[in-house]
């Protein structure tokens, strides 16, 4: 971590730091991960902080929770350049990138009003991840832009 955001967002003792998130997407990162603070997690968020790599970036720190690769891979939909740092006793013990998953479930809502997933059925949304977008596994609708707008909150 560089000094610039340490000044703005305090270090965590143990947990996960999601860095290099596209500016403005931090709250969507939390929404995708289903982190809303109701579980009592200590969460710090930096939005549009200066970054050498991205000019402006967001950063999310979750205290006391180590997110698995499967949990964070879904972030590739909105933050493909995000880096994941697992912190223990103030040291970064693991650092990795997000990988694009084949499928994301229960994260996005299909924008097609005629899709069966929008009809009150007991069905979990499922999208195949394409090279340049996502595709509803039920109605086949392809979304390439504004995927963050589909996040099921």
Partner 1 sequence: MRHDHLITSKQLSRADVETVLDRAAEIDADPSAVADRHAGSLLGLLFFEPSTRTKMSFEAAMKRLGGDVVDMGSVESSSVKKGETLADTVRVIEGYADALVLRHPKQGAATMASEFVDVPLLNAGDGAGHHPTQTLLDLYTIRENAGLEDLTVGIMGDLKYGRTVHSLAHALTNFDARQHFVSPESLRLPREVVYDLHQAGNGAGIREHESLEEVLPSLDVLYVTRIQRERFPDENEYQKVAGEYQIDLETLEAADDDLTVMHPLPRVDEIAPEIDDTEYAAYFEQAHNGVPVRMALLDLLLSNGGETDE
Is 81 annotated for ligand binding?
A: no
Does 112 bind partner 1 (CB under 8 A)? Our answer is yes
Nearer to partner 1, 1 or 139 (CB): 139
Is 131 annotated for ligand binding?
A: no
Is 110 annotated for ligand binding?
A: yes
Does 140 bind partner 1 (CB under 8 A)? Our answer is yes
Cα–Cα distance measured from residue 117 to residue 136, given in angstroms and rounded to the nearest whole number: 9
59 and 90 in contact (C-beta within 8 Å)? no
Is 136 annotated for ligand binding?
A: yes
Does 52 bind partner 1 (CB under 8 A)? Our answer is no
Q: Total residues at the site for partner 1 (CB under 8 A)? A: 19
30 and 45 in contact (C-beta within 8 Å)? yes
- Tell which residue, 12, 17, 153, has the closest CA to residue 83: 17
Residue range at the interface with partner 1 (CB under 8 A); choices 8-16, 17-25, 39-47, 121-129:
121-129
- 52: exposed, middle or buried (Cβ count in 10 Å: 0-12, 13-18, 19+): exposed
The binder of partner 1 chosen from 3, 102, 120, 146 (CB under 8 A): 120
Pairing of strands 55-63, 42-51: antiparallel
Annotated binding site for Zn(2+): 110, 115, 136, 139
């Amino acid at each position: 971590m560089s000094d610039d955001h340490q000044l703005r967002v305090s270090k965590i003792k143990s947990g996960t730091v999601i860095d290099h998130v596209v500016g403005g997407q931090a709250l969507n990162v939390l929404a995708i991960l289903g982190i809303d603070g109701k579980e009592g997690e200590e969460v710090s968020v930096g939005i549009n902080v200066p970054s050498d790599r991205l000019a402006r970036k967001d950063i999310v720190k979750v205290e006391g929770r180590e997110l698995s690769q499967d949990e964070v891979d879904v972030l590739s939909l909105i933050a493909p350049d995000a880096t994941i740092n697992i912190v223990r006793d103030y040291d970064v013990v693991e650092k990795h990138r997000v990988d694009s998953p084949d499928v994301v479930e229960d994260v996005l809502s299909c924008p097609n009003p005629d899709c069966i997933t929008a009809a009150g059925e007991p069905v979990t949304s499922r999208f195949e991840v394409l090279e340049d977008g996502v595709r509803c596994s039920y109605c086949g609708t392809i979304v390439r832009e504004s995927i963050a707008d589909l996040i099921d909150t």
